[in-house]
Amino acid sequence: MLRILFILAIGIAVQATAQDFNLQVEKMNGIAYADGVDLGKKLKMNMTWQSEAGILQIGNSSWALGSAWVNLKDTSFLLQAVVKSKITSKQSFWLPLPSSLRVFEKLLNRPIEYDSASAKIYSKPTKDLWSVNLDSKENGEVVELKLSKPFVVETFYTKPNYLLRINGLVIDSTMFSDLAKKSSMISRVIPIQDKQSVQITLVIKDNCEGIELVKKDEGKTLQVVLRKKHYETKAASSSSAAQGSGSKKIKTIVLDPGHGGKDPGAIGYNSYKEKEIVLAVGLKLKSKLEEKGFTVKMTRDSDEFIELAKRPKMASDWGGDLFLSLHCNAIEGKERQQRAEGFTFYILRAGGSEEDKAIARRENQAIALESDKKGKMEISPAEWIILDNQLALYAEKSALLAGYLVESFDGGSIRKVQKGASQAGFMVLVGAYMPAVLAELGFITHPNDATYMSTEKGQNEIAENLAKAIVNFSK
């Protein structure tokens, strides 16, 4: 059974290969005509010539001299001009372009284009599949298909075969020919084209522990994300090796007061603004840490708008040893605003509860204010793969730092929410190659939290608690 399937795949694969060729084209009364016999041959169609009736049969179509109608099985198709014969040759059959090509498209079920400049015919099954790319990362691979429009896609995974069925797509199978060669996780790629759909089977190697299909670009980009096995174990051992080589002294601390400028952050109780509270706390924390001998850098020390992605990059450029992003939590709805209170310290990690994800989305909204970007608020599964390296190396230390922060805040004026620490996809932590935590200091929408965070006393105490945790962490 398997063998039959494979032979079938080869047969169809050959048929689905792209063709292009030159045609003999003549202009008559301003209309381009192609030699029908020539065209039929080059498209590898069966032809029958009924000379007396003046009819040329090409595949399932009949073309009659002097007629603009082509008969196709049970329908008729109207050409832009009549089929002509040239007096010099009785057997010549000239078909008007480009309308005749539409008939061949129906016969062959694939796009056929005519380029008048080069008098070339392109028969490209690749019209809707623009590219196939493989991106290899240390921790996995991403196979990316770019399509002309969204298609209905189904996937089936029966180890070791991962099957991707795309309805209505016609492909050029040669586009997949070197995919397996380039990949370290796919041993073979079998594209099977039929009239309704294309089935692309990826035969997956043992080193893969999970596959996920990600749609981007409103479905026009498909990413098959392959996660490599044993990666975490390897990364964990390398991170513990790094720890073993003597824990790095914390010298430079990067403080990141969230939002700023045109982005006020959350606006809460009594119209307090998140961007003002976190800047005030950040400045106080800076002087406290400097008193203790740390070098402190700030992503902003005034009311300034800074793109999310720039913040961790600044931290890395400064050679930071610790990144702390300061924020205030917020919630919608009057009743919930009375109830939701407390601090939470977040590290960057996939997963997290729905509430955590919602908080991350809200904090990621600043991206919508960045002029050149569309509002992308979530980290995609493919991006998580790419991030894994950073996560594996720093998640442990970040979690440790979050632990010290919870300990230092516990029992203070702002209450602990559940465990006080959690994880989610905060964009501002992406690319910080150092232990990194995002602090939701308290709920700006809660009367007590907001009032406390807005006072000089509250801000000083918060800064004091943050400094204490950092000192403990750096010991």
Least CB distance to Zn ion at residue 263 (A): 9
Contact 110, 193 (CB under 8 A): no
CB nearer to Zn ion: give 256 or 363: 363
CB of 240 to Zn ion, least distance (A): 33
Strand order of the β-sheet with 25-28 is: 25-28, 31-35, 89-96, 84-86
Q: Identify the CA nearest to 392 among candidates 188, 213, 238.
A: 238
Helix 231-244 crosses helix 381-409 at what angle (to 10 degrees)? Answer: 40
Residue nearer to Zn ion on the CB measure, 327 or 446: 327
Instruction: Output the smallest distance, CB 318 to Zn ion, in A.
Output: 21
Sort strands 295-298 and 252-257 into parallel, antiparallel or unpaired: parallel
Report in angstroms how near the CB of residue 380 gets to Zn ion at its nearest: 22
Give strand pairing partners of 75. Answer: 72
Q: Which is nearer to Zn ion, 38 or 276 (CB)?
A: 276
The CA distance from 436 to 434, in Å, is 6
**Cβ-closest position to Zn ion:** 327
- Strands 221-228, 252-257: parallel, antiparallel or unpaired by DSSP? unpaired
Q: Which is nearer to Zn ion, 202 or 278 (CB)?
A: 278
Nearer to Zn ion, 258 or 260 (CB): 258
Contact indicator for 352, 422 with CB cutoff of 8 Å: yes
Residue 445 DSSP one-character state? T
Query: What's the min distance (Å) between Cβ of 363 and Zn ion?
Result: 5
In degrees, to the nearest 5, what angle opens at C-alpha 95 toward C-alphas 92 and 97? 145
Coarse DSSP helix, strand, coil percentages of the chain, rounded to the nearest 5 percent: 35, 35, 30
| Minimum CB–partner distance for residue 259 and Zn ion (Å) | 6
In the bound state with Zn ion, the residue whose beta carbon lies nearer, of 265 and 342, is 265
Backbone angles phi, psi at 123, to 5 degrees: -110, 95
Q: Which residues bind Zn ion (CB under 5 A)?
A: 258, 265, 327, 363
